[in-house]
Chain A
Amino acid sequence: MKRLINLLLPLCGIGMALAVWWAASVAVPDLPSPVRTWEESKLYILEPLAKRGESDQGILLLAYYSLMRVARGFLLGVVIATPLGFLLGVSSTLTKMFDPIMQVLRPISPLAWLPLGLVLFQKSEPAALFAIAVCSMWPTVINTMMGVRAIPQDYWNVAKVLRLSRTTTFTKIIVPATLPYMFTGYRLSLGIAWLVIVASEMLTGTPGVGGFLWQEYNSLVYAHILLAIITIGIVGFALDRLMGMAEARLRASS
């Protein structure tokens, strides 16, 4: 009975959201209704891996392009952010030095970074990676830093009393103690990276979910905008869940 309710309640929510959507489509003639959206999008969903042309591809294929771009940008960000987080966590001098810069850089929108990336790298692909990396690295930096600072005095005492070398202290104490925090950072960073991808694809016109969205807006196929939006949401949700599961497993094993 309880399981049934747990299944029914989300379905009720989705039904209500669809109702609002339908009502809005009645009020605004340009907005396709849920049914029309399905009719016009089903080719993309039922043949998700079809490639009919450079910009006319199945939705999974488009999502795959976006995901690969996100993966590269995210990895680039993580590779920079993790060591930076450790350094800032260990050294209060470095923190004092770089905290103001960090606080100023953190709230900058991907839309602002992208033109700078284009100026720096001349091409749209590296510019997109640059924007993703720069925007998504901050949660990892901050969480890793916090994780290092949250290491209990007990563990530092162990390092001191056992006279562990710097390397041993790092690999045997600092990294394992910080790992759960780091992973929370990765999860948040990946979420941001996925937010950035759409904006960067829209601006650079590269193939992917975001690029598709912008192109279909320009071609006046509004149903596909909704298809892209829903896809972005579902993929983002799935990413967050996957990272959440990895995080939970990590916490359980340490």
Chain B
Amino acid sequence: MPFLEVRNLSKSFPSPAGVRHVLSHVTLDVDQGEFVSIVGSMGSGKSTLLSLLAGLTVPDTGTVVLDGKPVTGVRDDAAFVFQNYSLLPWFSALENVRLAVQAAFPNETAASQKRRAAEALDRVGLGNALERKPRQLSGGMRQRVSLARAFATEPRVLFLDEPFGALDALTRDALQQDLARLCAERERPVTTVMITNSVEEAILLSDRIVPIVTGPPASLGSPIVVELARPRTLAQLAHDEQATHARAHVVAALTASLQRRNRSVSTAAPSALSTTEPVKEAL
């Protein structure tokens, strides 16, 4: 039985223009210890999907079962990394991580909670920046604190919502490697679902890549397995035949769904626009 079992998930939101169907009939299996990336363009409903999986929002229909139990809220063995760091500005790096540790290990002594937090920051190379406030840290360092906060709670599931989307390319590379290392270093394997809009990032980190079939409503395409040995580097991926194959596959799946959307938009358009000017077919 898969560790994470997603069945027929649908979600819609009320909007001024009527109900907006964001996701429909999403089905996905993730094995224990597997790293799965969900790749899609901006606004395709990826984040909505992730918050459904994490129990942050409730689906209209469908079920999410994690480790045999239906997901009804945020689990205590799950951790989250958001794109915009989500650090509390009035706390130092250490205090930010410690807040998570305190919530995850409430029965430990304050000293051991503090040690856990400091160790987690040390593992991401911030051992000498414990007392710094988030605004005294660069974007990359902030996201390292977020990673430390997530791993400090020793999660069994990790949800990453475009974790490196706000970073510049070079910092992004470094943090991707950090994440891969943190995942590999874990004694117990951590099951990870990552949302990203970067195919390269997905290939670098994932065991499996699932393209979003663009909507609305969005659904998931068929997964592409990445069978590359670890550790992987971007330089190696640029020439590797397997990687090239995977990249071509994912890009094909994504563009096909995008073209479908464009076509449906342009055929739907004439009724909405003035009829005097014929709308050209996009393809």
A157→B82 contact, CB < 8 A: yes
Is B76 engaged at the interface, CB distance under 8 Å to the other chain? yes
Q: Given A161-B79, A163-B74, A168 and B90 touching (CB < 8 A)?
A: no
Assess whether A163 is in contact with B103, with CB atoms less than 8 Å apart.
yes
A168 to B100 CA separation, bound complex (whole angstroms): 11
Among all A-B residue pairs, the 10 with the closest Cβ atoms: A161-B80, A176-B90, A154-B86, A162-B103, A254-B90, A162-B100, A158-B86, A163-B103, A164-B103, A163-B74
- A162: B residues at CB distance < 8 A: 99-100, 103-104
Interface residues of A in 144-188 (CB under 8 A from B): 154-155, 157-158, 160-165, 168, 172-173, 176-177
Judge whether A176 and B88 touch: CB under 8 Å.
Answer: yes
Choose among A154, A157, A172 the residue that contacts B56 (Cβ–Cβ < 8 A).
Answer: A157
Residue of A at shortest CB range from B80? A161
> What are 12 A-B residue pairs whose CB atoms fall within 8 Å in the complex?
A154-B82, A155-B86, A157-B82, A158-B86, A160-B74, A161-B56, A161-B78, A161-B79, A162-B99, A163-B76, A168-B103, A254-B89
Shortest Cβ distance from residue B249 to the other chain A in the assembled complex, whole angstroms: 33
Interface string of B97-138 (1 = CB under 8 A from A): 001101110000000000000000000000000000000000
Instruction: Give the docked Cα–Cα distance between A168 and B98 (Å).
Output: 13
A161 to B103, CA, bound (A): 10
User: What B residues does A161 contact at CB under 8 A?
Assistant: 54, 56, 74, 78-80
**B88 proximity list for chain A (CB < 8 A):** 155, 158, 172-173, 176
**What separation, in Å, do the CA atoms of A7 and B86 have in the docked complex?**
46
Residues of chain A contacted by B103 (CB below 8 angstroms): 162-165, 168
- Nearest B residue (CB) for A254: B90
**Is A160 touching B56 in the complex (CB atoms < 8 A)?**
yes
Distance in angstroms from B145 CB to nearest chain A CB is: 12
Q: Answer whether residue B27 sits at the interface, using C-beta atoms and an 8 A cutoff.
A: no
A residues within 8 A CB of B176? none
Whether B84 sits at the interface, judged by CB under 8 Å, is: yes
Interface residues in chain A, defined as those with a beta carbon under 8 Å from any beta carbon in chain B: 154-155, 157-158, 160-165, 168, 172-173, 176-177, 254
Whether B84 lies near A154 (C-beta < 8 A) is: yes
Contacts of B78 in A (CB 8 A): 161
* Chain B residues numbered 59-99 whose CB sits less than 8 Å from any CB in chain A: 74, 76, 78-80, 82, 84, 86, 88-91, 99
Q: CA–CA, A221 to B78, complex, Å?
A: 76
Residues of B within 8 A of A (CB): 54, 56, 74, 76, 78-80, 82, 84, 86, 88-91, 99-100, 102-104
Tell me which residues across on chain A come within 8 A of B74, comparing CB atoms: 160-161, 163
Residues in chain B near residue A154, CB distance under 8 A: 82, 84, 86
Give Cα A157 to B78, complex, Å: 14
* A168, B74: Cα distance in complex, Å: 17
CB-nearest residue of chain B to A161: B80
**CB distance A172 to B89 under 8 Å?**
no
CB A232 to nearest CB in B, in angstroms, measures 37
A169 to chain B, nearest CB (A): 10
Shortest Cβ distance from B78 into A: residue: A161
* Bound Cα distance from A254 to B88, whole angstroms: 10
Q: How close is B169's CB to chain A, nearest CB, in angstroms? A: 24
Docked complex Cα distance between A164 and B89 (Å): 17
Q: How far is the CA of A173 from the CA of B103 in the complex (A)?
A: 14
- Chain B residues near A168 (CB-CB < 8 A): 99, 102-103
Task: Output the residue of A155, A162, A164 with the most chain B CB within 10 A.
Answer: A162
Bound-state Cα–Cα, A157 to B84, Å: 11
Residue of B nearest to A158 (CB): B86
Q: Which residue of A lies closest to B106 (CB)?
A: A165
* B-chain residues with CB within 8 Å of residue A254 when the two chains form the complex: 89-90
Additional pairs, 16, CB under 8 Å, beyond known A154-B82, A158-B86, A161-B78: A157-B56, A157-B80, A157-B82, A157-B86, A158-B88, A162-B100, A163-B103, A164-B103, A168-B99, A168-B102, A168-B103, A172-B91, A173-B88, A176-B88, A177-B90, A254-B89
Tell me the bound Cα distance from A176 to B74 in angstroms.
24
